Structure 1
Amino acid sequence: MADTPSRTGSPATHDTDLIVVGGGPAGCAAARMAAGVGMRSVLIEPDALCRNLYRIPALNNVLGGHTSGPALADSITAELKSTEPCRLALGRRVVGLRAADDHVAVTLDTGTRLTAPYVVVATGVGPLQPRDVPWVTAPDAPTLSPLWQAEADDAEDRTLLVLGGDRPIGTFLRAHPTTATRLLVAYPEADAYKIEEIRDDARVTLLPVEHLILSPSEGTAVTAEAVRRDGERHPVTADAAYVSIGNAPTAPPGDLVRGPDGYCPPPRQHPRVIVAGDLRSARFQRIMTALGSGSEAALHAYYAARDLPVSG
């Protein structure tokens, strides 16, 4: 791409002022904030903007009056598509990220190479599967859908075995308050603090386990053996199985520093690589924290490009 005058008033020596990798709430907030301070950006997303929000039927913890994920996603998408300083590269995947002293370079799956002074990486996380955790044995290593993707028809008058006690279970129950279902929630001790919000729901049966052994699938029923913490073993039967184990980071390949858990702690990254949203840590996987961290990441790039202190 040819050099063009930057919206910040200085000559552009790169393709854009900021590259944003990931089109979830954090990435969209970064691109919107960048536009607000006069920075051009390119937002790269292999799917649709805010694609995971469209799978959250009920919200009760975000500003703006939105009560469903699709409503929030539609609002964010419409605003970003009308934000002229942001160029969207949808349907594109990052296959390489390299950080140098004075710029970052991002390579797309098309072979296109983009450069900018800074990059915000906000690629988020994906659902863990039984094969990813030590407390589940699954002989045929099934790939299970996360519970928050289930529809009311999937649960009505059915017993669902849910692996893990992660918080999207509460989201599912709030989204389907009148659905007659029974959730058998098998969870390890590490998830004990997560199940408080669902403990009193009459549709939930909690199964604290030391280990869970899924049997090979036979027909449509799901069978398993729950090994409790006292060593007792109990058979479990359900109509279907879903996961709510948690998530794993989905960082692009390249110059990102990953911790032992796969997440990318912001303080450990190259100065020109700014991590935002769920990719930072398992502790901050909330829509509101993602929006805030994306906005902060863009401001970090803005101030750093001008050698200005972040606070002042």
Structure 2
Amino acid sequence: MPTTPSGPGSPGTLEAAPVDTDLIVIGGGPAGCAAARMAASVGMRSFLIEPDGLCRGLARIPALNNVLGGHTGGPALADSITTELKDTDLCHLELGRRATELRAHEDRVTVTLDTGARLTAPYAIVATGVAPLRPGDVPWITSPPDLTVPPLWEADPTAARGRTLLVLGGDRPIGTFLRAHPTAGTRLLVAYPESDAYKTEEIRDDPRVRLLPVAHLTLRGTTAEIVDRSGARRTVMADAVFLSLGSAPAAPPGDLVHDATGYCRPSAQHPRVLIAGDLRSARYQRVMTAMGSGAEAALHAYYATRDVPRDERP
């Protein structure tokens, strides 16, 4: 197995060690799965590391309107991707395992698993995506520390029928919820900060939605005291409260370069580390863009191993 990097916490060179595979893919969402599938199509062996199940997040999306292939729901698309990848001979799946460290070296990358095992390859694709934010993670919400607020995708459409839901944050699962339950008669009060304004465009004209731009919100059960951007105060009440705060980057520790918001921009990384999917930016978090970026990253690694000049690669 690979040996220890020459310098802790910084890129270096490895002692002589075999390369385990052609490509390591960290993350088993649409981006990581597309990367492994594309790699196999050009004859590259890969290890795909995923702590949960393949496309687990995708399976939670009840309605899709931005993918090709006739899939209108996330569970069906997730099943299709999972089946295809499990039938891909050149991809070795490491499910139930987490990457605890990634190190980039002059001639290869090393990825350490939570078992302590280490894998090496000429390139790694990091497609770990994002993790959901909680009320305590954002400065514009004050709430009791022991208060549990579920994400909107967990809302039971039957229980929500005819009720008013307070939604904290303007992230895109709101549009998904509305498309998935067009006849539920549910009313949404969407409280969001200025930074989420661009995310509310797709729901702005929906009659079931009341937009509440806020500077600060104090949550007490199903009641919220809102301070709007002009400083005016008001109280809103709902039957239940759900989250749509968005997500924060969930990159593994190691030799990754993060921007001020925690995302890992592809152009800033070590040449042997490629970023795909939602980890790239908050602006391009879509199933189709994730899959495209994963496939493109795999081709980048393929051409690089064949010494195709960078300016001649796709």
Q: TM-score, normalised by structure 2?
A: 0.91
Q: CA deviation at 1:206?
A: 1.3
Say whether 1:277 aligns with 2:268.
no
Write the deviation string for residues 163-207 of structure 1: whole angstroms up to 9, x where unpaired: 111121111100001112111100112222222221222221111
Write the deviation string for residues 20-46 of structure 1: whole angstroms up to 9, x where unpaired: 000000000000000001000000000
Give the total of aligned pairs.
298
Q: CA deviation at 1:266?
A: 0.7
Indicate the residue corresponding to 1:8 in structure 2. none
Q: Which residue, 172, 179, 192 being the options, matches 2:197?
A: 192
The answer to whether the 8 A contact 2:136-2:145 is kept is: no
Secondary structure of the structure 1 residue equivalent to 2:202 = helix
Indicate the residue corresponding to 1:42 in structure 2. 47
Partner amino acid, structure 2, of 1:253 = P
Partner amino acid, structure 2, of 1:40 = R
Indicate the residue corresponding to 1:5 in structure 2. none
The answer to whether the 8 A contact 1:21-1:121 is kept is: yes
* Equivalent residues in 2 for 1:53-64, closer than 5 Å: 53-64=58-69
Q: CA deviation at 1:238?
A: 1.5
**CA 1:154–1:52: 2 relative to 1, 3 Å:** farther
Q: Distance in 1 between matches of 2:258 and 2:249?
A: 9
**Superposition RMSD on alpha carbons, in Å?**
1.6
- % identical equivalent positions: 71
* Equivalent residues in 2 for 1:73-222, closer than 5 Å: 73-140=78-145, 142-215=147-220, 217=221, 222=222
Q: CA deviation at 1:144?
A: 2.5
Indicate the residue corresponding to 2:7 in structure 1. none
Partner amino acid, structure 2, of 1:187 = Y
The answer to whether the 8 A contact 1:21-1:45 is kept is: yes
Q: CA deviation at 1:154?
A: 3.8
Write the deviation string for residues 54-91 of structure 1: whole angstroms up to 9, x where unpaired: 11011111011111001111110010000000000000
Q: Which runs of 4+ in 1 moved over 3 A?
A: none
Indicate the residue corresponding to 1:232 in structure 2. 232
Q: CA deviation at 1:143?
A: 4.1
Q: Distance in 1 between matches of 2:33 and 2:242?
A: 29
Partner amino acid, structure 2, of 1:214 = L
The answer to whether the 8 A contact 1:265-1:281 is kept is: yes
Any gaps of 5 or more consecutive residues in structure 2? Answer: 3-16
Q: Distance in 2 between matches of 1:109 and 1:153?
A: 40
Q: Distance in 2 between matches of 1:62 and 1:110?
A: 36
The answer to whether the 8 A contact 2:165-2:187 is kept is: yes
Q: TM-score, normalised by structure 1?
A: 0.92
Indicate the residue corresponding to 2:6 in structure 1. none
Say whether 1:32 aligns with 2:17.
no
Any gaps of 5 or more consecutive residues in structure 1? Answer: 3-11
**CA 1:275–1:190: 2 relative to 1, 3 Å:** same
Indicate the residue corresponding to 1:16 in structure 2. 21
Partner amino acid, structure 1, of 2:164 = T
The answer to whether the 8 A contact 1:131-1:141 is kept is: no
Secondary structure of the structure 2 residue equivalent to 1:198 = coil
Q: Distance in 1 between matches of 2:147 and 2:270?
A: 38
Report which stretch shifted further, 200-209 or 266-275: 200-209
Partner amino acid, structure 2, of 1:72 = L
Partner amino acid, structure 1, of 2:128 = T
The answer to whether the 8 A contact 1:130-1:141 is kept is: no
